[in-house]
Chain A
């Protein structure tokens, strides 16, 4: 009941978000006519005049300018050729109708573009030509945006703007940055501001100012300035005190880099370990506990990943497929298919698709596991070697099914924005998706542990896995318990797939890429032991990242990890935590 209440609350919150989002999407942002006119001029002017117009706009500080310039860098400002021969710059709304068309917002007055009769016009994304941009113009726009974003409400955006200005080597930014310094409250951004001002100060003609700037950079342990400092240290004709200060600063920053790499490696090891754990946990159940050499484990992962893909499409414009069978009956090709209509969600509502994809991936994969167990595996509990061949066959069949339904190519899964960013703590980067996987791994291990040790089902599972015949004698319906256990293990694989869709490929051979890692983790940890799987995943993940860092080559790192595993298994064939189970007797 509480579970139900939780989901209901979540659903309500999300629905509320969606409604507020819809309500908050006004017809067009309001803005004053002069700014709009200046924007239109900047867009329509070609050549050197543009530069000047853009820098004027940058100083206006307007929110509208930022929005339009952002659209421009993304190539989304398009020109509508009006019947009277003028070009009207517009951008297309994010919200698309069923034909993939959207309304166009005029930049000159913020209204929707309408035909002479006053009807709103709709366009597909390729209908109109975009305004020309190239790298150089884009970086000019970017600089204008940077100046604007110095006052952005988001500290991350402010910081990245500050860093860019600091690297520009243009001393004219110093006053702009200094003016910002007393207003800034965020510690990270203040540090970046100090760095940027000091970096720009290194171009000062006065050596005393240069030395002071360099010392400031050393004090700030500024990673970004190490190149500039090394250049200053090695520059011929440099004042000796400046060169000396620069050398000292480089040494300080190098020590800092070593620290950053150390902590970064630990975090990356934890994240890789979590991925291994998420991927292998399902196998720890089906292979570890049940003793089925489950070669179809990878395909259960793929089921989860494809479920995320379908959910994403349902939140977008819908999902449909048609299969034509490769043979004919009665002279005509057999084909069938179906379509799930999309709900065309946008904004946060769309971004939340992944929250729904997670439980659905579990359910779909568990269902697939149930079908496989009932149709194939239930006949093979006493014949582990045949189970290897049979599940291998199942995996081939499933891969072919993926190809028929989703095509042989990989499919696109867009990561929601809240998984794409990162935060830094003293220059160590923590990607949101990586932090997410660590929490995710902890949660599903906790869930599995609770299920196995604290629930009646867990008790039944453990008893059947320890001794099936005895459990049967005690009245346990072993058949049903096997079914539930296999479905649960498959569901866990599905969860792994949902996560993997956020960091890698989703394709028919997705499972093949992870099956070896999964078996490796389970075997090293000790077949039959969940704790072992957890330890093995953490150990392999950390060792891999440390070796990569030390050797500087992912290939060598992997080879050494594999060699170490072989030696380890020679020494302890049962893995880290060897247990005795039915299949190993």
Chain B
């Protein structure tokens, strides 16, 4: 027993020594430190580890082709642990101790809001890749994410085109669905949809101003009987559809109830904004054929860039040996591709600026001249820190992929929708 303990200790020491040696060897190359700030544990880990993986892949790809300005990228991976205050601490650690040049990270809006003051105080740079509600613009954050006008409003445009007249709004009760639905409520009014054709209910403040539109359920909600019965009554008169911003695995009981109630996509399609290929892997997709999704990337896109990307991504998965990267049954979806695009936009900006300095790189990014043709098509960084990109509407297939129905090319990312819509509505009256 003691002997084996000694062996363990000795091998541990050897391993530690080995680490030190390799670290010294690495230090001789020129390196640039880059932060990855995602939840690798906790509830968000299921979604966010995929982003960590694709970032590591992008760095390996760049390092293999010579790095950024001759410097190898050295990833500094920290775990936000689905704990929002911890995100801020980890951001501080990345910026003040590790002194990273740029950070890629965050999924939930609340984690982004939590790190924002840290990045502003220490003048860091963060790339944020996941569809979000907008109404925010920090000089230290670049949003490769879909803004509301790059996902929700194009989807509504498509449904209006298809002759839908009644819209039922349902979502999880937190900032993204609330804001998105409020924007959609105003957008629908602006497009001549009468108030009584917007389902889910309205909440007004004391002055009678609408502050919330749609039906909301808590995270992890499982009982959708009442809501689906409500939708069924709403849809009984035809030409109705459901706009679904439910987040996470509550979608499974929701869709099972929808199927059990006999609401078929040809009667009343559901368009979901939080379900991409990665989530569909654990959904009952056979019952969801024909339901809609809207993203700026679909795995089923038939472009040479996407084919090359998928090929090299799966090849990388075969050979990589980072701890904790799952190799089996992987899918790619929009947040992953937008993370990947972010890395290349940053690389292009650094090379043009000739420096890793945050202020210089930002000036180049804001010039509007930085573009990258990624798996989802051409993306261009705008002066307002958002990205011009192509929006696709797709239809779920039984194999968990999307069939692309329509594309809106080169949509300009516009974060402040509420104010614009309010002004337009006021002008219309």
Contacts and interface: CB of A to CB of B under 8 A. Distances in A.
B405 interface: yes
Interface in A393-430: 407-415, 419-422, 429
A489 interface: no
Interface of A: 73-75, 125-126, 134-136, 138-139, 142, 160, 164, 167-168, 223-228, 230, 257, 260, 264-265, 268, 271-272, 275, 407-415, 419-422, 429, 431-434, 502-505, 507, 513, 544-545, 548-549, 552-555, 558
A265 B326 CA distance: 45
Contact of B45 (A230, A408, A554): A408
Contact of A421 (B166, B260, B284, B397): B260
Given A228-B237, A408-B45, A554-B217, A545 B225 contact: yes
30 contacts: A73-B266, A135-B162, A135-B405, A136-B162, A138-B266, A164-B267, A223-B236, A226-B237, A257-B233, A260-B233, A268-B226, A272-B223, A409-B46, A412-B283, A412-B285, A414-B284, A415-B256, A415-B260, A415-B287, A420-B287, A431-B257, A431-B261, A432-B260, A434-B260, A505-B222, A505-B252, A505-B253, A554-B221, A555-B216, A555-B217
B378 interface: no
B186 to A, nearest CB: 21
Interface of B: 45-46, 162, 166, 173, 196, 201, 215-218, 220-223, 225-227, 229, 232-233, 236-239, 249, 252-253, 256-257, 259-262, 266-267, 269, 281-287, 289-290, 326, 329, 395, 397-399, 403, 405
Nearest to B397: A75
B45 A126 contact: no
Contacts, number: 137
A347 to B, nearest CB: 15
Given A75-B398, A414-B286, 10 more contacts: A74-B289, A224-B238, A228-B237, A407-B326, A410-B252, A414-B284, A433-B260, A513-B222, A553-B216, A554-B217
Contacts of A136: 162
Query: Chain A at the B interface: mostly helix, strand, loop or mixed?
Result: helix
A434 B284 CA distance: 18
Contact of A507 (B162, B218, B257, B282): B282
A409 B284 contact: no
B209 to A, nearest CB: 19
A148 to B, nearest CB: 14
A552 B399 CA distance: 36
Nearest to B201: A552
Counting from the closest, the 3 A-B pairs by CB-CB distance are A167-B238, A227-B237, A410-B282
A178 B226 CA distance: 35
A412 B282 contact: yes
B225 A271 contact: yes
Given A421-B260, A503-B256, A554 B227 contact: yes
A432 B259 CA distance: 11
A433 B258 CA distance: 12
Given A429-B261, A555-B173, A409 B282 contact: yes
B226 to A, nearest CB: 5
A422 B252 contact: no
B293 to A, nearest CB: 13
B243 to A, nearest CB: 16
Given A414-B284, A554-B217, A268 B173 contact: no
B282 to A, nearest CB: 4
A160 B236 CA distance: 11
A415 B284 contact: yes
Nearest to A544: B223
Contacts of A431: 225, 257, 260-261
A554 B260 contact: no
A135 B403 CA distance: 11
B278 to A, nearest CB: 9
Contacts of A73: 266, 290
Contacts of B218: 554-555, 558
A268 B238 CA distance: 24
B403 A75 contact: yes
Contacts of B223: 272, 275, 544, 554
Contacts of A264: 229
B105 to A, nearest CB: 20
Given A505-B252, A507-B282, A142 B262 contact: no
A421 B261 CA distance: 7
Nearest to B403: A75
Contacts of B216: 553-555
Contacts of A228: 237
Contact of A549 (B196, B226, B282): B226
B215 A553 contact: yes
B405 A126 contact: no
Contacts of B237: 167, 224-228
Quick one: which of B225, B257, B261 has the most chain A CB within 10 A?
B225
A264 B46 CA distance: 37
Nearest to A167: B238
Contacts of A224: 236-238
B137 to A, nearest CB: 30
Contact of A503 (B46, B253, B395): B253
Contacts of A558: 218
A503 B256 CA distance: 6
A528 to B, nearest CB: 28
Contacts of A230: 196
Nearest to A169: B238
